[in-house]
């Protein structure tokens, strides 16, 4: 008998939101979760924990695989399985943390912490934090705000907060249902957060305070069990002032900023003593580029962080790009406007739309939830993200431009800078990570271009990683070990083995992990 709060979803296949793949499923192996009715919020939360355990036991008994599903935004099959998917979008509780919930060794206040159920979306978090008195804010955001918190952190969703990091970097505690009879609280031993009062309220079977296990679990794409709850660290509400400037030549001053994050030779309008540069992003039109040429150079999008003052909020009207003003939005808008579009047509059309979307404009100021607020998208697009060290970014641009001459990419290209992560398999692993974003029309031309880029990076010995949730079809066990190091991969596998029994690991293993060599049990780690 299926418990209250679980409903069967008779799916035999599932297509991701960007429509670039369809996953076959075992019929009647997928379910939707809701918090059961009745009782306090905590009682209902604990009942959902038991329902997660029921699902794991159900899967073990029937020898099927499961994965939790958020918004389904990933372009890769990292988070899906050939068994069943568990819809968690209705699990949106959030809980205030009070003084008795925090560890005596926690250096900050309980007001800095916020506990969220796995299906809570980033825009919901922004709204709830803005309603607190005084207002609070998340520390960083991806380019859109529709992802669930569990999905966003599990694949390394990032923005361009080069002093802050990606989504997982402000997560300080995880409640994971790792087996049919086991659920745990995990945090770093070096950064204690929760008191016994907190973990007793969750009724966990084990409290794990271990840096290596926590860092492994942060970016684990649903393979460590069901992430039921996420403790995040917030900060006081602040404002971002977004500015956009164009016609920046690809020359020494820009290269210095790109490779060293030293902006002293760039003229960044808006700099003032009460502002701190927060976000740095460089965009190039691959089809209209020439070094040292202002007319064929770069476009900069940068943001200053400022103290919160509601009187200075100034948001510009929405543009003509209803899918957003980033590269992915441009391609989506193209697809929406034309009933048929070929790879050959994309470059000249991107040239036209670049002139409209990426042009200087008046600054706008708002909270992080107001600036990163676009959630709509269209399918049939390809998006890849490559992590490299900032020092290699200028050379990487030159190589990519050469590849584009031979294999024209039907899309655009940008660079975002992100502080390095402590997550064991976080793709923003470099201390100063530059994320090369390549967004375009999905198809043969895009995949040939991306494959050529990955190949030339390997030929030129430029260390790189790939975003787990974006196009990454060249990943395999050898490449994963080269990207992260054998010791880090072994540490991640060790952590998974520590948390889970072999039957539970079987439930949360998928083909993607097998290809990447991340499915090993303890005796197989090499």
What are the C-alpha distances in Å from 441 to residues 200, 333, 437?
Answer: 50, 11, 14
308: exposed, middle or buried (C-beta count within 10 Å: 0-12, 13-18, 19+)?
middle
* Closest by Cα among 72, 409, 491, 482 to 474: 482
Output the six-digit token pair for 232: 């995040």
Q: Per CATH, the architecture of 6-236 is what?
A: 2-Layer Sandwich (3.30)
Domain locations in the chain as residue ranges: 6-236, 238-474, 481-524
Listed in sequence order, the residues at least 6 apart from 429 whose beta carbon sits closer than 8 Å to its beta carbon are 387, 420, 421, 423, 465, 484
pLDDT at residue 91 in the model: 98
Mean pLDDT per 10-residue interval, the chain, length 526 residues: 94 82 92 96 98 98 95 86 96 97 95 97 96 96 87 91 95 98 98 98 98 98 97 98 94 97 93 92 90 92 96 81 52 54 62 65 93 66 91 98 90 92 97 93 84 97 96 96 97 97 97 96 58
Distance of alpha carbon 94 from alpha carbon 124, whole angstroms: 10
pLDDT at residue 317 in the model: 79
pLDDT at residue 287 in the model: 86
320: exposed, middle or buried (C-beta count within 10 Å: 0-12, 13-18, 19+)?
exposed
Pick the CATH number of 238-474 from 3.30.360.10, 3.40.50.300, 3.40.50.2300, 3.30.70.2520: 3.30.70.2520
Distance of alpha carbon 27 from alpha carbon 24, whole angstroms: 9
pLDDT at residue 319 in the model: 57
Distance of alpha carbon 89 from alpha carbon 123, whole angstroms: 13
Q: How many CB atoms lie within 10 A of CB 190?
A: 11
Each residue's pLDDT tens digit, 85-94: 999 999 999 9
Q: How many CB atoms lie within 10 A of CB 501?
A: 16
Each residue's pLDDT tens digit, 285-298: 888 899 999 889 99
Concatenate the DSSP letters of all residues of 82-146 into one string.
SSEEEE-TT---EEE--GGGB-TT--S-GGGEEEEETT-BHHHHHHHHHTSSS-EE-S---S-S-
- Give the predicted TM-score (pTM) of the model: 0.93
């Amino acid at each position: 008998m299926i418990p209250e709060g679980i409903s069967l979803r008779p799916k035999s296949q599932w297509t991701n939101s960007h429509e670039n793949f369809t996953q076959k499923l075992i019929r009647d192996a997928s379910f939707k979760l809701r918090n059961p009715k009745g009782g306090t919020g905590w009682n209902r939360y604990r009942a959902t924990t038991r329902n997660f355990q029921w699902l794991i036991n159900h899967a073990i008994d029937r020898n099927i695989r499961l994965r939790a599903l958020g918004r389904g935004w990933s372009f890769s099959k990292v988070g899906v399985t050939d068994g069943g998917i568990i819809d968690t979008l209705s699990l949106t509780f959030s809980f205030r943390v009070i003084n008795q919930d925090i560890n005596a060794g926690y250096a900050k206040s309980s007001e800095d912490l916020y506990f969220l159920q796995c299906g809570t979306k980033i825009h919901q978090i922004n709204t709830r934090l803005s309603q607190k008195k005084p207002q609070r804010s998340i520390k960083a955001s991806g380019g859109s705000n529709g992802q669930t918190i569990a999905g966003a952190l599990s694949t390394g969703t990032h923005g361009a907060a080069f002093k802050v990091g990606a989504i997982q970097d402000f997560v300080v505690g995880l409640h994971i249902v790792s087996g049919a009879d086991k659920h745990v609280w995990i945090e770093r031993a070096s950064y204690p957060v929760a008191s016994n009062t907190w973990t007793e309220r969750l009724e966990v079977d084990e409290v794990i305070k271990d840096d290596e296990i926590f860092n492994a679990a942060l970016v684990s794409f649903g393979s460590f069990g069901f992430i039921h709850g996420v403790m995040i660290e917030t900060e006081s509400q602040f404002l971002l002032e977004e500015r956009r400037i164009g016609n920046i030549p690809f020359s020494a001053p820009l290269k210095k900023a790109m490779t060293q994050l030293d902006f002293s030779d760039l003229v960044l309008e808006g700099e003032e003593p009460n502002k701190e540069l927060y976000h740095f992003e460089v965009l190039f039109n691959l089809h209209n580029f020439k070094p040292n040429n202002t007319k064929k150079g770069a476009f900069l999008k940068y943001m200053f962080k400022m103290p919160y003052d509601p009187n200075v909020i100034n948001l510009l009207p929405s543009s003509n790009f209803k899918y957003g003003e980033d590269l992915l939005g441009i391609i989506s808008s193209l697809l929406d406007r034309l009933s048929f579009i070929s790879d050959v047509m994309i470059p000249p059309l991107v040239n036209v739309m670049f002139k409209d979307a990426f042009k200087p404009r008046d600054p706008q100021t708002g909270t992080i939830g107001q600036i990163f607020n676009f959630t709509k998208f269209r399918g049939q697009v390809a998006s890849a993200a490559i992590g490299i060290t900032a020092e290699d970014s200028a050379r990487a641009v030159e190589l990519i431009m050469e590849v584009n001459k031979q294999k024209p990419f039907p899309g655009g290209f940008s660079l975002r800078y992100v502080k390095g992560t402590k997550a064991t398999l976080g793709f923003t692993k470099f201390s100063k990570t530059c994320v090369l974003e390549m967004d375009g029309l999905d198809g043969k031309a895009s995949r040939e271009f991306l494959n050529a880029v990955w190949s030339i990076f390997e030929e030129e010995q430029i260390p790189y990683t790939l975003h787990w949730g974006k196009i990454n079809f060249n990943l395999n066990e050898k490449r994963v070990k080269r990207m992260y190091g054998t010791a880090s991969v072994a540490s991640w596998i060790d952590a998974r083995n520590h948390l889970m029994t072999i039957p539970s690991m079987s439930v949360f293993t998928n083909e993607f992990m097998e290809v990447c060599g991340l499915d090993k049990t303890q005796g197989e780690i090499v």
